[in-house]
């Protein structure tokens, strides 16, 4: 007698004691029960099973011709050359060899490949053996977002996946740029080329000090078990793009730059070769405060002759983005290409608009318009063939972000996006964009293709409108003014706005500021050189200049109110449509700005600021105060000529400022 599945006992004639029929099983001729399952996996160990889970990337398209250095090489030879190039980048100048490199995650033995190192001949004394020369450095090369997520979540404390799939991370003690700690090597070439002195963002350092900091950064990176290496491009104009290499210690930094730079195709990566510029991001390691020119434990150092940048003592990823922007401000004008701190979009009829403005003026928001194609939100070039985006992504402010106000940016925050310093619910991981517990300068970095109406490739024809955005904390500039060429140059060089809270360290509330070319922190040459190029291109292509105030109305900051975004959008729509070119205008006092008497969808009373102030005397005093600030600021630039033989134009620009 045997027990059945229900615990009852079956008798010998096939019936159970409870009256139910005996369950019959099918038997094959060999006596083994029928099995509907599939064949077992072809693995003998769990490691072998895991190895079956991932397949090798498909071979890339063969490259024809002889212009490609890797065209005739095997995959193993290509990998070897890539590692040799990276080893050369990481070579210490006090040792004969670069680090011993191996591709893959050190935690995964199956990823380990052959070791590569490079012999370097240097004139400095060499150390034959060191601890770092005895170890392997694993290179995580151009990882995908999914791979970088795994690295960040596993190894970087403070990394989480939010409810929408974005990677939330922390930038450490620094939550904004550190402009006072930025240094540029002053040598025989840059001494005469770059903008130095009053108002300049370029604080000098010598070659020796740069090499001390470079050695410190390289030694730190070589001491790690693994480093992340990104080989990418800047500038969508393929004739003028720059190859950049970023060596970093954090998956957060690698993913950030993966999003912000232009991502190469597999074929382009095979043919990448030697980079035009290299960043050594050792931000987790401080600089030596006793080193000459150092004023803190943070230093961001740029050497244009060596085409290298070193980051020490700050993990804020924006330093890499803006450091490369400074490089483009130096390299592009040498090719007669104007580099611009601007957003850029294009209408369905091909009309392109440039948006100039510092962080917080609405440049990202206003250039992201679902009715127009987005070429880019922050950095552009204007050359002979039109405009091109420098970057491959967007870096949007997140403070008080909402789906209703900015749906495109809201929807772009998904898998692959980096969310910096945001606060989220510990259980469901929903982000609270109004929470400023970590910083007000919360940010999202995402690939530009995450914007549905992004124009790919990110290039366009010559602009028709040049829009200068100012966040006027005094509340006396009109919401919209049409500018003649001289006024456009004056306000472009002045770069008036308000420094928005959280953009830089130590700033807790908006402050009136002047930033030449709406980006003085990033430009390398004197502002008048960029202004001359802008004037030439606007004249040649018939572009119209506009000054748009996205700041305060009916009083200064603390008394008035911020101009509603919906009104600013209506103004921008009128610029795009061309209707403002035919509007009726009147001139304001002091600044002599031409303001329209009406704009569709905008209350007419706010178009002239004096109408919104109840205290007319206070308005006049504030207007004169701002005019004085403009005049004092512009004295920095009066001793420079704009272009060759443009003395009359220079006088016109000076006359285009406030008169009182």
Catalytic residues: 177, 322, 341, 359, 363-364, 378, 443
In whole angstroms, how far apart are CA 482 and each of 58, 474, 585? 55, 20, 9
Residue 558's Cβ-count burial label (10 Å; 0-12, 13-18, 19+) is exposed
**Neighbouring residues of 575: CB distance < 8 A, sequence distance ≥ 6:** 353, 465, 467, 480, 546
Specify the DSSP class assigned to residue 240. G
In whole angstroms, how far apart are CA 322 and each of 138, 257, 590, 610? 28, 11, 36, 38
DSSP 76-92: HHHHHHHHHHHHHHT--
Residue pair 466/354 in contact (Cβ under 8 Å)? The answer is yes
Q: CA–CA separation, 160 vs 251, rounded Å?
A: 13
Residue with tokens 């996996």: 41
Residue pair 102/73 in contact (Cβ under 8 Å)? The answer is no
Residue with tokens 């990033």: 522
In whole angstroms, how far apart are CA 553 and each of 243, 327, 391, 570? 45, 37, 34, 16
Residue 159's Cβ-count burial label (10 Å; 0-12, 13-18, 19+) is buried
Residue with tokens 């606007």: 538
Q: CA–CA separation, 634 vs 219, rounded Å?
A: 45
């Amino acid at each position: 007698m045997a027990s059945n599945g229900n615990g009852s006992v079956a008798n010998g004639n096939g019936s159970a004691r409870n009256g139910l029929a005996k369950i019959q099983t099918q038997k094959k001729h060999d006596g083994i029960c029928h099995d509907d399952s599939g064949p077992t996996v072809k693995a003998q160990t769990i490691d072998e099973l895991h190895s079956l889970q991932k397949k090798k990337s498909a071979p890339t398209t063969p490259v024809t011709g002889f212009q490609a250095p890797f065209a005739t090489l095997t995959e193993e030879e290509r990998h070897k050359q890539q590692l040799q190039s990276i080893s050369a980048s990481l070579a210490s100048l006090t040792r004969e060899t670069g680090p011993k490199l191996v591709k893959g995650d050190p935690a995964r033995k199956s990823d380990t490949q052959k070791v590569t190192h490079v012999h370097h001949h240097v004139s400095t004394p060499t150390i034959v053996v060191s601890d770092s020369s005895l170890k392997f450095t694993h290179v995580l090369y151009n990882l995908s977002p999914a791979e970088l997520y795994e690295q960040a979540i596993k190894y970087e404390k403070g990394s989480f996946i939010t409810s929408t799939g974005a990677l939330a991370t922390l930038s450490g003690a620094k939550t904004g740029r550190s402009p006072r700690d930025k240094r540029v090597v002053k040598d025989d070439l840059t001494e005469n080329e770059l903008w130095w002195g009053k108002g300049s963002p370029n604080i000098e350092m010598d070659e020796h000090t740069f090499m001390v900091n470079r050695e410190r950064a390289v030694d730190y990176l070589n001491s790690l078990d693994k480093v992340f290496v990104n080989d990418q491009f800047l500038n969508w104009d393929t004739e003028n793009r720059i190859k950049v290499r970023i060596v970093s210690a954090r998956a957060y930094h690698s993913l950030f730059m993966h999003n912000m730079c232009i991502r190469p195709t597999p074929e382009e990566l095979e043919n990448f070769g030697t980079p035009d510029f290299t960043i050594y991001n050792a931000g987790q390691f401080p600089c030596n405060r006793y080193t000459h020119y150092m004023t803190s434990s943070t230093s961001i150092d740029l050497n244009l002759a060596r085409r290298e940048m070193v980051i020490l003592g700050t993990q804020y990823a924006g330093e890499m983005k803006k450091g490369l922007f400074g490089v483009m401000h130096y390299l592009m004008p040498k090719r007669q290409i104007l580099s611009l701190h601007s957003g850029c979009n294009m209408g369905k009829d091909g009309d392109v608009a440039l948006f100039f403005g510092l962080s917080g003026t609405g440049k990202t928001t206003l250039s992201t318009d679902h009715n127009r194609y987005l070429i880019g939100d922050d950095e552009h070039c204007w050359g002979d063939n039109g405009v091109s985006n420098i970057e491959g992504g967007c870096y949007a402010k997140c403070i008080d972000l909402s789906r209703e106000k900015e749906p495109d940016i809201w929807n772009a925050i998904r898998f692959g996006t980096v969310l910096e310093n945001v606060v989220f619910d510990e259980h469901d991981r929903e982000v609270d964009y109004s929470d400023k517990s970590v910083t007000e300068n919360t940010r999202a970095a995402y690939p530009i293709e995450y914007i549905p109406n992004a124009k790919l490739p990110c290039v366009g024809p010559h602009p028709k409108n040049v829009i200068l955005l100012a966040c006027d904390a005094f509340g006396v500039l009109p919401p919209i003014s049409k500018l003649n060429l001289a006024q456009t140059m004056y306000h472009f060089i002045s770069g008036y706005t308000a420094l928005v809270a959280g953009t830089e360290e130590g700033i807790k509330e908006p402050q009136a500021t002047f930033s030449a070319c709406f980006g003085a922190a990033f430009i390398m040459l004197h502002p008048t050189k960029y202004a001359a190029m802008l004037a030439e291109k606007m004249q040649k292509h018939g572009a119209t200049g506009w000054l748009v105030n996205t700041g305060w109305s009916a009083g200064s900051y603390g008394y008035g109110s911020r101009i509603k975004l919906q009104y600013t959008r209506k103004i921008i729509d009128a610029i795009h449509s061309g209707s403002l070119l035919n509007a009726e205008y009147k001139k304001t006092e002091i600044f002599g700005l031409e303001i329209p008497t009406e704009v569709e969808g905008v209350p007419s009373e706010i178009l002239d600021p004096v109408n919104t102030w109840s205290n007319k005397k206070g308005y006049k005093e504030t207007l004169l105060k701002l005019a004085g600030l403009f005049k004092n600021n512009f004295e920095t630039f009066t001793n420079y000529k704009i272009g060759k033989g443009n003395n009359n134009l220079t006088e016109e620009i000076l006359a285009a400022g406030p008169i009182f």
